[in-house]
């Protein structure tokens, strides 16, 4: 059924979330391809469909949505006097010394999902290499002492490299997740509850106080205030929350991989010391070690 609905195209979906036409915490109404029935789908289900249709991923779409909504809001604030003035009154109510555009963190750093995929692939290859080592030892396929020394050296080198990369990714993801939290989250929440009529009150007040000449100079118009301006702020906050959730998932997964590699790294260190193997140099595991792919999470093997 999911592929039989008339989903929004990616650019249209971005636009509707950006201008508040879609309320992402509500079900999205979609017609089937024959235009005879209406179905309700969640925001996440729609995004996952777009991921599949556009060969992209959830993280990239959420980051793009955050960027587009933030850019759209900044343009509204910069170009429309009434929007800027009303937001400034809300900021003043919080007793803050802050310009209207200062409610955003301007955090641009993102994490590439491909890095996560690549580390998972490297991890599976590493675990496959260790299973290959166990299998060959049990079958006594090592006729010379140098064979097992070379294999251990390769595994140890690549285990160390994989562990270092995963830890760098975890640190970066943790920083991004912390920076995602808006400094003035409470102001943004306040604005998510302010509808267009609230802004129109600012228009009326400004018109009463200003002269005809000054009104002519003011290019702002009440017509330029989006009908669902409160929804734009709400969508922005919800997108940030979804991003944080996705980043937390990546961090948790990478930490599990790191814990497993840490155990293997310690075991390999003991074996390396026992065989008095030193002077390890980086080697590419892909071309040297018997790789075993596995869909299951590797938990080590009996030798370790």
Q: Are 288 and 154 in contact (CB under 8 A)?
A: yes
Whether residue 1 sits in one domain with residue 139: no
Both tokens of 24, joined, read 């992402």
Please give the Cα distance from 59 to 142 (Å, whole number). Answer: 45
For 7, which DSSP code?
A: P
* Cα distance from N-terminal residue to C-terminal residue, the chain: 48
d(CA 149, CA 277): 7
The structure tokens listed for 303 are 């030798």
Whether residue 277 is contained in a domain is answered as yes
What three-state secondary structure class fits 279?
Answer: coil
Q: Which residue range(s) make up the domain with 262?
A: 113-166+256-287
Number of domains in the chain: 2
CA–CA separation, 124 and 26 (whole Å): 39
Q: Is residue 272 part of a domain?
A: yes
Q: CA angle at residue 200 from 195 to 206, to 5 degrees?
A: 145
Q: Please count the helices (runs of H) and the strands (runs of E) in the chain.
A: 10, 2
Indicate whether 152 and 21 sit together in one domain. Answer: no
The answer to whether position 199 is within a domain reads no
In this structure, is residue 14 part of a structural domain? Answer: yes
134 shares its domain with 276:
yes
Distance CA 11, CA 275 (A): 60
**21 and 160 together in one domain:** no
Residue 147 and residue 277 in one domain:
yes
What would the pLDDT profile of 177-232 be if each residue is shown by its tens digit? 999 999 999 999 999 999 999 998 887 776 666 554 444 445 556 778 999 999 99
Q: Is residue 86 part of a domain?
A: no
Residues 155 and 38 in one domain: no
Same domain? For 161 and 283 the reply is yes
Does some domain include residue 108?
no
C-alpha of 254 from chain center: 14
Out of 28, 56, 84, a domain closes at: 56
The 10 Å Cβ neighbour count of residue 135 is 13
Both 6 and 142 in a single domain? no
Cβ atoms of 165 and 123 closer than 8 Å: no
pLDDT in tens, the chain (304 residues): 556 899 999 999 999 999 999 999 999 999 998 888 999 999 999 999 999 999 999 999 999 999 999 999 999 999 998 899 999 999 999 999 999 999 999 888 889 999 999 999 988 888 888 777 767 666 665 555 556 777 777 888 888 889 999 999 999 999 999 999 999 999 999 999 999 999 988 877 766 665 544 444 455 567 789 999 999 999 999 999 999 999 999 999 999 999 988 888 787 777 777 666 654 444 343 433 343 333 433 333 233 3
pTM of this prediction? 0.81
């Amino acid at each position: 059924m999911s592929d039989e609905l008339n989903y929004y195209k990616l650019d249209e979906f971005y636009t509707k979330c950006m201008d508040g036409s879609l309320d992402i915490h509500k079900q999205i109404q979609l017609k089937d391809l024959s235009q005879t029935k209406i179905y309700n789908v969640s925001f996440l289900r729609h995004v996952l469909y777009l991921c599949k249709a556009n060969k992209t991923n959830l993280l990239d779409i959420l980051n793009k949505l955050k960027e587009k909504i933030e850019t759209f809001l900044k343009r509204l604030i910069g170009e429309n006097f009434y929007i800027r003035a009303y937001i400034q009154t809300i900021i003043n109510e919080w007793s803050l010394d802050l310009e209207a555009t200062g409610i955003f963190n301007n955090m641009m750093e993102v994490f590439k999902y491909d890095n996560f995929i690549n580390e998972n692939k490297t991890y599976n290859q590493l675990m496959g290499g260790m299973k290959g080592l166990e299998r060959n030892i049990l079958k006594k396929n090592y006729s010379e002492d140098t064979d097992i020394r070379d294999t251990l050296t390769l595994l140890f080198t690549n285990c160390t490299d994989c562990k270092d990369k995963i830890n760098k990714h975890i640190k970066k993801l943790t920083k991004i997740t912390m920076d995602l939290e808006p400094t003035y989250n409470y102001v943004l929440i306040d604005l998510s509850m302010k509808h267009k009529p609230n802004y129109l009150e600012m228009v009326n007040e400004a018109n009463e106080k200003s002269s005809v000449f000054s009104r002519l100079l003011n290019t702002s118009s009440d017509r330029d205030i989006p009908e669902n301006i409160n929804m734009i702020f709400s969508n922005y906050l919800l997108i940030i929350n979804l991003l944080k959730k996705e980043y937390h998932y990546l961090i948790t997964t990478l930490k599990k991989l790191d814990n497993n590699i840490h155990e293997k790294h310690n075991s390999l260190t003991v074996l390396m010391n026992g065989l008095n193997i030193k002077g390890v140099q980086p080697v590419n595991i892909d071309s040297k070690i018997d790789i075993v792919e596995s869909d299951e999470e590797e938990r080590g093997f009996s030798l370790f």
